[in-house]
Chains A and B, each alone.
Chain A
Amino acid sequence: MSTLIIIDQSPYGSWAGREALDMTFSLAAFDQPAALLFVGPGVHWLCQGQNADNLGQKSVEKNLSAASMFGVEDILADAGSCARYNLAIEHLISGTTLVESIRDTIAGYNQVVFAG
Protein backbone atom coordinates (compact mmCIF):
# COMPACT_ATOMS: atom_id res chain seq x y z
CA MET A 1 0.00 0.00 0.00
CA SER A 2 2.08 2.95 -1.27
CA THR A 3 1.43 6.60 -0.43
CA LEU A 4 2.41 9.70 -2.39
CA ILE A 5 2.54 12.91 -0.35
CA ILE A 6 2.31 16.06 -2.53
CA ILE A 7 3.75 19.35 -1.24
CA ASP A 8 2.63 22.32 -3.34
CA GLN A 9 3.41 25.19 -0.99
CA SER A 10 6.71 27.02 -0.57
CA PRO A 11 8.83 26.12 2.47
CA TYR A 12 8.89 28.58 5.42
CA GLY A 13 5.61 30.22 4.34
CA SER A 14 3.43 27.84 6.37
CA TRP A 15 3.77 24.76 8.59
CA ALA A 16 1.69 22.50 6.34
CA GLY A 17 4.70 21.12 4.52
CA ARG A 18 6.66 20.30 7.66
CA GLU A 19 3.69 18.33 9.02
CA ALA A 20 3.45 16.43 5.73
CA LEU A 21 7.15 15.59 5.98
CA ASP A 22 6.67 14.25 9.52
CA MET A 23 3.78 12.12 8.27
CA THR A 24 5.91 10.81 5.40
CA PHE A 25 8.72 9.80 7.73
CA SER A 26 6.24 8.17 10.13
CA LEU A 27 4.80 6.09 7.30
CA ALA A 28 8.27 5.04 6.22
CA ALA A 29 9.27 4.24 9.80
CA PHE A 30 6.37 1.73 9.86
CA ASP A 31 7.56 0.20 6.57
CA GLN A 32 4.72 1.75 4.57
CA PRO A 33 6.19 2.69 1.16
CA ALA A 34 6.05 6.48 0.94
CA ALA A 35 7.22 9.00 -1.66
CA LEU A 36 7.23 12.79 -1.88
CA LEU A 37 6.21 14.86 -4.92
CA PHE A 38 6.95 18.62 -4.94
CA VAL A 39 4.93 20.80 -7.34
CA GLY A 40 4.43 24.51 -7.95
CA PRO A 41 6.17 26.75 -5.39
CA GLY A 42 6.73 23.53 -3.41
CA VAL A 43 9.76 22.65 -5.59
CA HIS A 44 11.70 25.19 -3.50
CA TRP A 45 11.79 22.62 -0.69
CA LEU A 46 14.44 20.89 -2.79
CA CYS A 47 16.76 23.87 -3.33
CA GLN A 48 20.34 23.52 -2.18
CA GLY A 49 21.76 26.34 -0.10
CA GLN A 50 18.69 27.27 1.92
CA ASN A 51 19.64 29.63 4.79
CA ALA A 52 16.75 30.14 7.20
CA ASP A 53 18.84 31.45 10.11
CA ASN A 54 17.48 34.97 9.74
CA LEU A 55 13.96 33.57 9.97
CA GLY A 56 14.87 31.67 13.12
CA GLN A 57 13.82 28.46 11.45
CA LYS A 58 15.64 25.19 10.84
CA SER A 59 16.41 24.59 7.17
CA VAL A 60 14.04 22.02 5.64
CA GLU A 61 16.94 20.96 3.43
CA LYS A 62 18.44 19.10 6.44
CA ASN A 63 15.14 17.32 7.23
CA LEU A 64 14.83 16.20 3.63
CA SER A 65 18.37 14.83 3.45
CA ALA A 66 17.28 12.36 6.17
CA ALA A 67 14.61 10.95 3.85
CA SER A 68 16.69 8.07 2.47
CA MET A 69 17.71 7.10 6.03
CA PHE A 70 13.99 6.81 6.84
CA GLY A 71 13.51 4.67 3.74
CA VAL A 72 11.50 7.23 1.82
CA GLU A 73 11.97 5.80 -1.64
CA ASP A 74 11.36 8.66 -4.05
CA ILE A 75 11.92 12.42 -3.84
CA LEU A 76 10.13 13.69 -6.97
CA ALA A 77 9.93 17.20 -8.44
CA ASP A 78 7.57 18.40 -11.16
CA ALA A 79 9.77 19.36 -14.13
CA GLY A 80 7.34 22.08 -15.32
CA SER A 81 7.39 23.84 -11.94
CA CYS A 82 11.19 23.65 -11.84
CA ALA A 83 11.38 25.24 -15.29
CA ARG A 84 8.98 27.99 -14.21
CA TYR A 85 11.17 28.91 -11.24
CA ASN A 86 14.39 28.58 -13.24
CA LEU A 87 15.58 25.59 -11.20
CA ALA A 88 17.85 23.09 -12.94
CA ILE A 89 18.59 19.62 -11.48
CA GLU A 90 21.97 20.89 -10.19
CA HIS A 91 20.14 23.45 -8.01
CA LEU A 92 18.28 20.64 -6.27
CA ILE A 93 19.40 18.33 -3.46
CA SER A 94 20.96 15.11 -4.68
CA GLY A 95 18.62 12.16 -5.09
CA THR A 96 15.82 14.31 -6.56
CA THR A 97 14.08 12.84 -9.61
CA LEU A 98 12.37 15.16 -12.11
CA VAL A 99 8.96 13.92 -13.32
CA GLU A 100 7.41 15.14 -16.56
CA SER A 101 3.78 14.19 -15.88
CA ILE A 102 2.02 14.61 -12.55
CA ARG A 103 -0.86 12.47 -13.86
CA ASP A 104 1.39 9.50 -14.67
CA THR A 105 3.30 9.86 -11.41
CA ILE A 106 0.10 9.85 -9.34
CA ALA A 107 -1.09 6.72 -11.16
CA GLY A 108 1.75 4.76 -9.54
CA TYR A 109 0.50 5.07 -5.95
CA ASN A 110 -2.40 3.59 -4.01
CA GLN A 111 -2.93 6.68 -1.88
CA VAL A 112 -2.30 10.35 -2.67
CA VAL A 113 -2.44 13.02 0.03
CA PHE A 114 -1.80 16.78 0.06
CA ALA A 115 -0.03 18.91 2.64
CA GLY A 116 -2.43 21.43 4.16
Chain B
Amino acid sequence: MTDTTLHITNKAPDHPRFRYCLSAFKEGDALILMEDAVLALTDQEQALPSTSYALSADAQARAVANRAPRQQLIDYNDFVQLTATYSRIINW
Protein backbone atom coordinates (compact mmCIF):
# COMPACT_ATOMS: atom_id res chain seq x y z
CA MET B 1 0.00 0.00 0.00
CA THR B 2 1.62 3.27 -1.00
CA ASP B 3 2.09 5.62 1.92
CA THR B 4 -0.82 8.00 2.42
CA THR B 5 0.09 11.06 4.40
CA LEU B 6 -1.87 13.30 6.74
CA HIS B 7 -0.45 16.81 6.46
CA ILE B 8 -1.11 19.11 9.44
CA THR B 9 -0.20 22.80 9.46
CA ASN B 10 -0.79 25.84 11.67
CA LYS B 11 0.96 28.33 9.38
CA ALA B 12 -0.92 31.26 7.85
CA PRO B 13 -1.36 30.93 4.07
CA ASP B 14 1.32 33.52 3.32
CA HIS B 15 3.93 31.66 5.41
CA PRO B 16 6.48 29.93 3.14
CA ARG B 17 6.04 26.61 4.92
CA PHE B 18 2.35 26.60 4.01
CA ARG B 19 3.34 26.41 0.33
CA TYR B 20 5.87 23.63 0.96
CA CYS B 21 3.09 21.67 2.66
CA LEU B 22 0.79 21.99 -0.37
CA SER B 23 3.60 21.12 -2.77
CA ALA B 24 4.18 17.86 -0.87
CA PHE B 25 0.49 16.90 -1.06
CA LYS B 26 -0.21 13.74 -3.17
CA GLU B 27 -3.40 12.03 -4.35
CA GLY B 28 -4.92 10.11 -1.41
CA ASP B 29 -3.39 12.39 1.23
CA ALA B 30 -5.39 14.64 3.56
CA LEU B 31 -4.70 18.07 5.04
CA ILE B 32 -5.73 19.46 8.42
CA LEU B 33 -5.63 23.24 8.86
CA MET B 34 -5.37 24.49 12.44
CA GLU B 35 -4.74 27.85 14.17
CA ASP B 36 -3.71 30.49 11.56
CA ALA B 37 -3.83 27.97 8.70
CA VAL B 38 -7.67 28.05 8.80
CA LEU B 39 -7.44 31.40 6.99
CA ALA B 40 -6.75 29.37 3.83
CA LEU B 41 -10.46 28.49 3.82
CA THR B 42 -11.32 31.96 2.48
CA ASP B 43 -8.02 32.77 0.79
CA GLN B 44 -8.89 33.61 -2.83
CA GLU B 45 -5.27 33.04 -3.94
CA GLN B 46 -4.88 29.56 -2.46
CA ALA B 47 -6.57 26.47 -3.97
CA LEU B 48 -6.94 23.68 -1.41
CA PRO B 49 -7.06 19.95 -2.06
CA SER B 50 -10.55 18.46 -1.81
CA THR B 51 -9.59 16.41 1.26
CA SER B 52 -8.81 19.46 3.40
CA TYR B 53 -10.26 19.96 6.87
CA ALA B 54 -10.11 22.86 9.35
CA LEU B 55 -10.51 22.91 13.13
CA SER B 56 -13.81 24.65 13.79
CA ALA B 57 -12.64 26.25 17.08
CA ASP B 58 -9.88 28.10 15.21
CA ALA B 59 -12.19 28.93 12.30
CA GLN B 60 -14.86 30.35 14.64
CA ALA B 61 -12.29 32.47 16.50
CA ARG B 62 -11.09 34.05 13.26
CA ALA B 63 -14.66 34.46 11.98
CA VAL B 64 -14.05 32.37 8.86
CA ALA B 65 -16.23 29.41 9.91
CA ASN B 66 -19.42 31.00 8.65
CA ARG B 67 -17.84 31.65 5.26
CA ALA B 68 -16.34 28.18 4.77
CA PRO B 69 -18.03 25.05 3.34
CA ARG B 70 -19.67 23.19 6.23
CA GLN B 71 -18.14 19.76 5.56
CA GLN B 72 -14.62 21.10 5.84
CA LEU B 73 -14.97 21.99 9.54
CA ILE B 74 -13.99 19.27 12.04
CA ASP B 75 -13.76 19.06 15.83
CA TYR B 76 -10.93 17.61 17.95
CA ASN B 77 -12.46 14.09 17.91
CA ASP B 78 -12.49 14.09 14.12
CA PHE B 79 -8.88 15.32 14.27
CA VAL B 80 -7.85 12.31 16.38
CA GLN B 81 -9.83 9.99 14.10
CA LEU B 82 -7.96 11.27 11.05
CA THR B 83 -4.58 10.78 12.71
CA ALA B 84 -5.50 7.11 13.14
CA THR B 85 -6.44 6.76 9.48
CA TYR B 86 -3.17 7.69 7.80
CA SER B 87 0.07 5.72 7.96
CA ARG B 88 2.27 8.84 7.93
CA ILE B 89 1.77 12.27 9.54
CA ILE B 90 3.76 15.43 8.80
CA ASN B 91 3.39 18.54 10.97
CA TRP B 92 4.34 21.56 8.89
Contacts and interface: CB of A to CB of B under 8 A. Distances in A.
Nearest to B14: A40
A13 B35 CA distance: 6
A111 B45 CA distance: 32
Interface in A1-47: 9-13, 40-41, 44, 47
Contacts of B60: 50-52, 54
Contacts of A84: 43-45
A91 B42 CA distance: 13
B63 A12 contact: no
Contacts of B39: 10, 41, 44, 85
A86 B35 CA distance: 19
Contacts of B13: 41
B28 to A, nearest CB: 29
Nearest to A13: B36
Interface residues of B, number: 21
A86 B58 contact: no
21 contacts: A9-B12, A11-B61, A11-B62, A12-B58, A12-B61, A13-B35, A40-B14, A41-B13, A41-B14, A44-B64, A47-B63, A47-B64, A49-B66, A54-B61, A55-B61, A57-B61, A83-B44, A84-B45, A86-B42, A87-B42, A91-B63
Interface of A: 9-13, 40-41, 44, 47-52, 54-55, 57, 59, 83-87, 91
Interface of B: 10, 12-14, 35-36, 39, 42-45, 56-58, 60-64, 66-67
